[in-house]
Amino acid sequence: MNHTKRPVLKRLACLAALLVCAGCAPLYLPPVPEGRSSTPAPRLELAEGSGLGRTSLGALELRLRFRTVPEAGWLAPDATANETEAALPLPGEAEPEPGLWRAVLSFEGRLVRQFTLEVP
């Protein structure tokens, strides 16, 4: 009779341990808190007049005017901190095919703005 009680007691002990351990899971705290940056992420703000256009030769060009610039050299190594305009030629053909063209500007992994241009 003693042998029949042992498996039952083992099963009850396992069930009790399982319930106790499952109840502790929501109370878990990580040993090291996640680091938080005290400095805000740099922002890039565009001013009016930014857009997708064409150069005098007909190639596509992204013209940007900035309201705020994160730091000197962020756009190019020789850029100054107060540089507020940039003209970036888009890669591709000198004479783009007719249709709707789009350019997307992102900074620090975030979408800043999407530009569109209809080429006749």
Q: What is the domain partition of the chain in residue ranges?
A: 45-119
Assessment of whether the complete model's pTM goes beyond 0.75: no
The pLDDT tens digits for 38-95 are 566 667 888 898 999 998 888 899 998 888 877 766 776 665 555 678 888 888 766 8
Q: What is the dihedral of CA 79, 81, 84, 88, to 10 degrees?
A: 30
The angle formed by the CA atoms of residues 23, 36 and 32, to the nearest 5 degrees, is 40
Work out whether the CA dihedral 92, 94, 97, 98 comes out positive or negative. Answer: positive
Instruction: Select the more confidently predicted residue: 114 or 31.
Output: 114
